[in-house]
Structure 1
């Protein structure tokens, strides 16, 4: 395990900018508006050869514990449990504030080593705040500009005495023997409209209040990835999962706020990263047009899709609701007819094992490869049962098929006059691939390639 470093500070001092700098990617949302970060975000970082896990936290605010800022502060306090050290970030241009002093008092009561970071210290505008920060009692502050990368070497020197003894031993890489490796952790993204219960569902799976939840819609902003192990009741063995929580996606016309636009864009990127996407519906609202748009986006990106109906414990007439959603999905998502539909309750935990089982099963289909010989036997049988049309009396010739990739499954058909092949016949072949070759309801890509005519006139 890498030693864990937690970034702590009041809102808008540049914590997420520093997190992005140390991780080496702009993953955390950053904006001039304070309070952008609400959940803890973890990332693997390396600074001049020193490796550690860096944790971004919500801005520390002095509010009622039951309020949203108060619950965010509780998440920040929880992040320090088990950490190797804390980076206490202040805004050197703004100087010390009473909230900075309150955070300092709290940190002095903890057993975790603290490095004081005076951010936004580029130029001379931050000198006054830098000198003031000595009064906090954490020794020499590190003058840093997370935005421009200035002072990173000084930060490394301040962190080295604490983290160097905790560095993991170097692992010796094994030689590749050419055998197929088992699949890695399941990358599972939870998406849906605001307030569908995405964060609550992940907290239920983890059996802890890992993500911020509440009655307010749109609490989640950043897409948060959490490593977890689920025990499969079918085998009683742990299986690795990367859970990805995302911001709620409203209709585009309703998204006016810049920060919400950034959060929705981040959620769409999370779909691209995932292997399996769970679209979470609210049983009290049913299936709406926006849900179908979110589902269609996941399918267009080639992700395996599962629909989960949350709040099943309070659903009215559950049987008719389930059947109605099933019928609407088969009509609205005809390209993946039969997509798995699971009823769950994030509050009670009902259906969560079935959801994970469906996710692993559909990933297996998403990764499936069919040997070329067996694929072409099916192809010959499909054409014998339903020969391709002959527009103008000239038959379209389909010679053979091959699978060129998985994740999602991709196939190429070679033949002649393929530009005249009707879309209905292409759908016939795709549906046959899904139904008879074990691909279920995953997206299947089918491309057509005509052989070049060697006697064609060359210009």
Structure 2
């Protein structure tokens, strides 16, 4: 039985550092300045033989209004209510503050299982803070050093009996039924479902304040991510698992990406780098635009980045509910899309409203179409018949009088589709002819919008047995033997 452990505490006490150590990866952004974490980040943790879900939360702020700290606090309180165990972290070097005492009182009321941990407790300088932690009334504190990995054995000792209790309770609540599948159901269960076993990876990217977090909240049906009118709220690339209209997905919410020249702060650089990693791991990238200012230079750069990484791309235009002349605006968007992003010709363009939820069905269908096209495969025989027709309709040029022969073609890979053409003088084939073939592949094989990789390789027009020494025939071999005998 797995359980959920929420790490809570004031800003800058080391919650994200401990989170990264428990999951064994640098998933959460870590920096010296307080308040780096704003959203809830989940991960699969491992501590000795214990397997559980750990949640990294925003630092608890003493604010209850609708300001950004107030919204962060409500999100953290929600994580406390949902978690099985709360790990309350304090800074042993800074000592116990009045804010720690306030939040200790809140945890006593809202959580059934609270473990107190005094972080940064390495060395004698933290002894006073550890002793002060006894005054919070949450039992004996664990001396931790998330940075150096000290005190994890004590944390294991505290978690083990609780984990056993959760496992025993789950065994009692589990229904004792043995359901057998009939023939048809058993056959369906044996059919591999790659998207069910391995969820479809979708990254939502765009400029700051385009509405990425609001859109994902609307898809989830709950306020899981922190949102607001301020630009740049999201910092970490948060991944969320969900079942969207029967399709298992993992959606990544990324930080808004500004122009590189404007990104000066170290924290924003880390956030953008985290978002770029999410694009590389994704299978489908949703480029979210603001309907008021679509296709700005940064939007084009983000879409081009997704295409260069070989991801399937869907362009979504948000805030469509405030548009008045929707038909005229949609026509202008399609014209600008084809003109500014020719490398993504035919990619889905969907209008949505994250605020009202309008257009989400079309967005789901566009994501699935882009994913299917991204995995498309064309038989070699069909490709070569198509290549013959393309060459007859428009033969390749003959630079410097050298005729270029396209001999045959095959698909070498999918995700994205990659094709190899064997030809003579591939280095002299112009880029315009490669674009001609790529556009033909898109139109004739139904591959709109997906990145297509086309490689030309040389095939020498020579006899493969030319340099081999010919073996002597039987008559010559007989004469050679008789000569040696004489």
Q: Structure 1 length as normaliser, TM-score?
A: 0.92
Cα distance in 1, alignment partners of residues 119 and 465 from structure 2: 70
Do the aligned partners of 1:83 and 1:112 also contact (CA within 8 Å) in 2?
A: no
Which residue of 311, 322, 326 corresponds with 1:314? Answer: 322
Please tell me whether residue 296 in structure 1 is matched to residue 304 in structure 2.
yes
Cα distance in 2, alignment partners of residues 285 and 327 from structure 1: 15
Do the aligned partners of 2:29 and 2:236 also contact (CA within 8 Å) in 1?
A: yes
Cα deviations by residue, 1:34-67 (Å, 9 ceiling, x for unpaired): 0111110011111112100110000000013211
| Residue 384 of structure 1, CA deviation | 2.4
Cα distance in 2, alignment partners of residues 348 and 62 from structure 1: 32
Do the aligned partners of 2:36 and 2:235 also contact (CA within 8 Å) in 1?
A: yes
Cα distance in 2, alignment partners of residues 90 and 180 from structure 1: 47
Cα distance in 2, alignment partners of residues 363 and 316 from structure 1: 32
Please tell me whether residue 197 in structure 1 is matched to residue 211 in structure 2.
yes
Which residue of 423, 428, 438 corresponds with 2:436? Answer: 428
2:220 aligned partner: 206
Q: What are the residue-to-residue correspondences of 1:216-227 with 2, within 5 Å?
A: 216-227=230-241
Cα distance in 1, alignment partners of residues 466 and 81 from structure 2: 73
Do the aligned partners of 1:304 and 1:363 also contact (CA within 8 Å) in 2?
A: yes
Cα distance in 2, alignment partners of residues 384 and 156 from structure 1: 72
| Residue 79 of structure 1, CA deviation | 0.7
Residue 388 to residue 166, structure 1, CA distance change in 2 (3 Å): farther
1:243 aligned partner: 251
Residue 455 to residue 78, structure 1, CA distance change in 2 (3 Å): same
Please tell me whether residue 17 in structure 1 is matched to residue 30 in structure 2.
no
Do the aligned partners of 1:50 and 1:164 also contact (CA within 8 Å) in 2?
A: no
Residue 302 to residue 40, structure 1, CA distance change in 2 (3 Å): same
Please tell me whether residue 336 in structure 1 is matched to residue 350 in structure 2.
no
Please tell me whether residue 143 in structure 1 is matched to residue 143 in structure 2.
yes
| Residue 68 of structure 1, CA deviation | 0.6
Cα distance in 2, alignment partners of residues 390 and 409 from structure 1: 28
Please tell me whether residue 393 in structure 1 is matched to residue 383 in structure 2.
no
| Residue 181 of structure 1, CA deviation | 4.9
Do the aligned partners of 1:84 and 1:163 also contact (CA within 8 Å) in 2?
A: no
Do the aligned partners of 2:80 and 2:111 also contact (CA within 8 Å) in 1?
A: no
1:368 aligned partner: 376
Cα deviations by residue, 1:97-141 (Å, 9 ceiling, x for unpaired): 111111110111124311111111122222211121122222221
Give me the CA root mean square deviation: 2.0
Cα deviations by residue, 1:186-237 (Å, 9 ceiling, x for unpaired): 2111111111111111111111111111111111111111111112xxxxxx
Give the unaligned 5+ runs of structure 2: 172-189, 468-486
Which structure features the higher share of helix residues? 2
Do the aligned partners of 2:64 and 2:73 also contact (CA within 8 Å) in 1?
A: no
Cα distance in 2, alignment partners of residues 117 and 449 from structure 1: 62
Cα deviations by residue, 1:351-379 (Å, 9 ceiling, x for unpaired): 01100110011101111122222222222
| Residue 285 of structure 1, CA deviation | 2.0
Residue 112 to residue 402, structure 1, CA distance change in 2 (3 Å): farther
Cα deviations by residue, 1:61-100 (Å, 9 ceiling, x for unpaired): 0013211101100000001223221111111111111111
User: SS at the partner of 2:78?
Assistant: helix
Q: What are the residue-to-residue correspondences of 1:43-58 with 2, within 5 Å?
A: 43-58=43-58
Residue 417 to residue 179, structure 1, CA distance change in 2 (3 Å): farther
Do the aligned partners of 2:45 and 2:54 also contact (CA within 8 Å) in 1?
A: yes
Between structure 1 and structure 2, the one with the greater Rg is 2
Q: What are the residue-to-residue correspondences of 1:211-290 with 2, within 5 Å?
A: 211-231=225-245, 238-290=246-298
Do the aligned partners of 1:29 and 1:262 also contact (CA within 8 Å) in 2?
A: yes
Cα distance in 2, alignment partners of residues 165 and 369 from structure 1: 51
Cα distance in 2, alignment partners of residues 387 and 81 from structure 1: 68
Cα distance in 2, alignment partners of residues 311 and 456 from structure 1: 68
Cα distance in 2, alignment partners of residues 316 and 246 from structure 1: 29
Residue 415 to residue 142, structure 1, CA distance change in 2 (3 Å): same
Residue 394 to residue 17, structure 1, CA distance change in 2 (3 Å): same
Cα distance in 1, alignment partners of residues 381 and 447 from structure 2: 17
Cα deviations by residue, 1:7-51 (Å, 9 ceiling, x for unpaired): 100100000111111111101111111011111001111111210
Cα distance in 2, alignment partners of residues 285 and 255 from structure 1: 20
Cα distance in 2, alignment partners of residues 69 and 188 from structure 1: 29
Residue 378 to residue 181, structure 1, CA distance change in 2 (3 Å): farther
Do the aligned partners of 2:37 and 2:58 also contact (CA within 8 Å) in 1?
A: yes
1:72 aligned partner: 72
1:352 aligned partner: 360
2:177 aligned partner: none
Do the aligned partners of 2:81 and 2:110 also contact (CA within 8 Å) in 1?
A: no
